[in-house]
Structures are given as structure tokens and as C-alpha cells.
Structure 1
């Protein structure tokens, strides 16, 4: 009988949006579980500090890569640099994401495209590029960070919700295509999490009250709340789970009248 374990010793993980917030927490959690981590973000200073701190805290090997994942050429360069350093990638965390508050009737084509390119197209391109070498090695784990907004309508989030809905569907499609090769693909959908992206909104009493009263657990989530679910999806013990979307939302999506 196989021992149940969430350890990732000897694995190499590639985490986008890893310079802060959810991505940094996930990168740290993967390193604490034994993985060497490639931390990818669009801000050089931020990603450099994050990778150094994770290495100091865990003793794992880390690599900081500055990359705008909305740019296919930069994605290719980043993956090549990671492969040159580590030789292969076992785990891909597609976490990079952006959003802004604006009516869907007012969002421009350029704004829409930028959100889609960052949140959705990057996940496709990285999954294709890294997934091919996972197929060659017969093992891999891809975890996409989606959102409850993939299935719930929040006014003024315009392109963000559709991009995350697409990410959940992409998870299912990739899970179907890659499963026979030993590669699983799953996603998590958080509710509101305390990050730089939600910091301004959480400063308002009205928004804090809305977020907490609609959450059965009764509090706003922290980035660390997402680590254990991701570790499960990345581990050997989740080998029979693919194409799934897990709500990590304090029960918010079950909230009744």
C-alpha cells in the first residue's frame, strides 16, 4: 500500500506571480515540502527578494526570474532559463493574475486583452511548453489558481471573472489530454484573500463586512490557507485526481439566503 505523503523532495516547481501574496506563499509552501522553486514575477526587485527569502527560510535551491507572462517570447525565455538551471520541471503553478475595477460596458479591447493574456493565455502557453517535457518524463503536476469569480458575478470586475472561468475550463481540458501521460491538472478557486490586490477594498468597512458575513467560517482568507490544497494536488498522493476545481473559500460558495 502506497504511503500517503505530501512531501515533494527532489521535485522542481515553477511558480508564476511568485513575488508576493498568494504566489509567494505557494512557492514557500512548496519549498517547505522539499521542492526546489523557480519564482517568477514581473517585478525584478520583488521576485529577487522573494526567492532569496524562501531559500534562506527553507534551505532549498531557488531561482528568481523576472518575466511578463503576458508576452509569449518572455515566457519562452524564462522556461529556457529554468531548464538550463534545473534540467526539468515537475510542477507548474499558474498563479499570475491581474484585474481592475471597471464596468464591463466600459472596458476597452486593450484592457480586456491584457487581462486575458496574463490570466489565461499565459497558463495555456506555460502548460504547453512545460507540459511537453512532463509528458516525456511520464510525471507532472499543473495547478491553476482560478477564483470563485469564475462562477459568481461580481460587478465591475469585467475581464477578471471571464478569464478565471476560462482557466477552470482549460484545467478540465488539459486534465483530459494529459492524464494518460502521468500528468495531472487541477485548479483551486479562492474567495477573497488578503493580498496587495485586495488591500484597498479590504480597508473599507462595507467590503470587510460583506466578505466576512458571506463566509460561513467568518473571516477573510490568508494566502497560507491555499498552501495545503496546492500541496495535495502537487503530491504523489493525488495521482488519481485530475481536471478538478477545488473551492478554497471558507464556504462562501455555499452561502444561502
Structure 2
């Protein structure tokens, strides 16, 4: 298991203060990486970093940043490098889902979803990759969704953004393969997180989801941890441009 260790590596997880992002940060820290987690709320970011330090003993930094603002993204990357001396792993996790029928979808909501889910990973990579190129090593993990490969009603903006993120992942992988940087997308299915509470708390919607899950339940955030650590490790050096679906069998049906 020592090949999965991340000692001496530094990771940045956007939106890493709750839900899947916090689980990713914990997993990388437990594997030995120093981690930085972001939120627009500075207090929330600091509290998450304190929790990670207490639970894992690894270095943790809380950074206040709006990942839709390139100036703040650049400052975020410089803060991580200034604190840890390097930046090896970027997890583009920050995301949003606004559910509306297409004919009711306002332009502002559409733009917010696209900017947060698709433009932000593009901007974060632009800020971080120059540091990775200097090191000739990097791991970028884009958190897409099974809804980047299939569709559901009232998710026009979300499905479009996550499908775009999968394609962006492939282009990034091709452009940076010669610099020792791998880029992969993780495509979760229904996981029990804050983002999905609105669905889980709706009996009809919850039943619809359970009926489409061959395993008969929602995923647990920690069930993604092993894949995240693998993709961040040296062992994944031959894997790039992939989109890995973890969805309880939904898309196999």
C-alpha cells in the first residue's frame, strides 16, 4: 500500500469544505498529502482545514476564494504554493445544480451553472498547471457526473456543464501528457451529499432514484476515496483522459 502514499505532495480541492470535496480532502490527507480546501466563506474554509488537521495530522490550509473569479483563483494557487512550496494535485470539485424545466430556465441560472461547473475548472487549471509544468508532475481530477453521459429532465444546465467537463478533461489530458501531468474525470452517480438533499427529501424523487440504482441505495461519499487517492498517486501515471463512472450501476442498465 506504500505505493498509494502521497507524502511530500500538496493538493488543492475546490469546494473542499463539505460533501464529496471534504471527503476527498480527508482521503488525500490520510494518504500523507498536505491539502488546501476552498470556500467563498473564509470561516468555513478555516474550520474545514482545522478538522482535517485534527483528524489526519497532515498539513491543511483553508483558502477563501470564488472559483468564478480568475483573480481570486490566481491568488488561491499562489497561496497554496507559498504555504506548501509546491502544488501537485488539483481536484476541481466545486459545483452547483439548479433544477428547472428548460422553458422556465432563466439566463442567469444557466450562466451560474456553466460558470461554476465548467468555466471554473478551466480557470483553475490555467492558474495551477504552470506550477505543475515546472515540476514535470501533476494530477488533475475533474469531478464531473454520470449526468455528463446520460440525461434527466430539469437538468439541462447541469448535464450540459458536466458533459462539457468530460470533454475538457480529454483536451487537457492531450495537451499536458508530455509534461508528466495526467487529467481524469470522476463521474459520480447519486451520492448522499448536501447537494442532493432536495432530492433525497422528496419521497417521489427519492423513489425514482432508488428504482434506477441496481445496488438499491445512494452512494456514500467515502466510497469514492480509493479512486481519488489512486488518481492522485504515482500509480496512475499511465491513466489520462479517462472518465470513470461510479454510479451504483445506474448507467449499466
Shorter-chain TM band: over 0.9
- In structure 1, how many angstroms separate the alpha carbons of the residues matched to 2:215 and 2:192? 15
TM-score (norm 2): 0.96
TM-score normalised to structure 1 length: 0.95
RMSD across aligned positions (CA) = 1.3
Cα distance in 1 for partners of 2:73, 2:153 equals 32
Could you say which residue in structure 2 is the equivalent of 1:182? 180
Query: After superposition, what is the alpha-carbon deviation per residue over 1:47-83, rounded to whole angstroms, capped at 9, x for unaligned?
Result: 2211100000110111100111011111112112112
- Structure 1 counterpart of 2:143: 145
| Alignment-derived partner of residue 133 in structure 2 | 135
Q: Does 1:105 align with 2:96?
A: no
Equivalent residue, structure 2, for 1:68? 66
1: CA distance, partners of 2:121 / 2:20: 16
Structure 2 CA distance for aligned equivalents of residues 254 and 22 of structure 1: 23
In structure 2, stretches of 5+ residues that fail to align are none
Say if 1:170 and 1:4 are closer, same or farther in 2 by CA, change over 3 A: farther
CA distance in 2, matches of 1:45, 1:115: 24
Q: Matches of residues 72-111 of structure 1 in structure 2 within 5 Å?
A: 72-111=70-109
C-alpha deviation, 1:4, in angstroms: 7.2
What is the deviation of 1:160? Answer: 0.9
Deviates most, 195-204 or 28-37: 195-204
Shift of 1:45: 2.5
For the 8 Å contact 2:98–2:109, the answer to whether it is kept is no
Output the CA distance in 2 between the equivalents of 1:106 and 1:208.
23
Is contact 2:9–2:86 with CA below 8 Å preserved after alignment?
A: no
Structure 2 distance, partners of 1:147, 1:69, is 19
- Could you list the runs of 4 or more consecutive aligned residues of structure 1 that deviate by over 3 angstroms after TM superposition? none
Aligned to 1:241: 239
Larger helix percent: 2
- The SS at the match of 1:14 is strand
Distance 1:103 1:78 in 2: 35
> May I ask how many residue pairs the two structures share in their alignment?
253
**3-state SS, counterpart of residue 23 of structure 1:** helix
Deviation at 1:29, TM superposition (A): 0.4
Q: CA deviation at 1:181?
A: 0.9
CA distance in 2, matches of 1:47, 1:75: 15
209, 212, 219: which is aligned to 2:210?
212
- Aligned match of 1:165 in 163, 166, 180? 163
Any gaps of 5 or more consecutive residues in structure 1?
none
Measured in 2, the distance between the counterparts of 1:178 and 1:23 equals: 24
Distance (whole Å) between structure 2 residues aligned to residue 138 and residue 80 of structure 1:
18
- Mapped to 1, the partners of 2:4 and 2:248 lie a distance apart of 22
Aligned mate of 2:112, from 111, 114, 126: 114
- What's the secondary structure of 2:104's corresponding residue? coil
The offset of 1:212, in angstroms, is 2.0
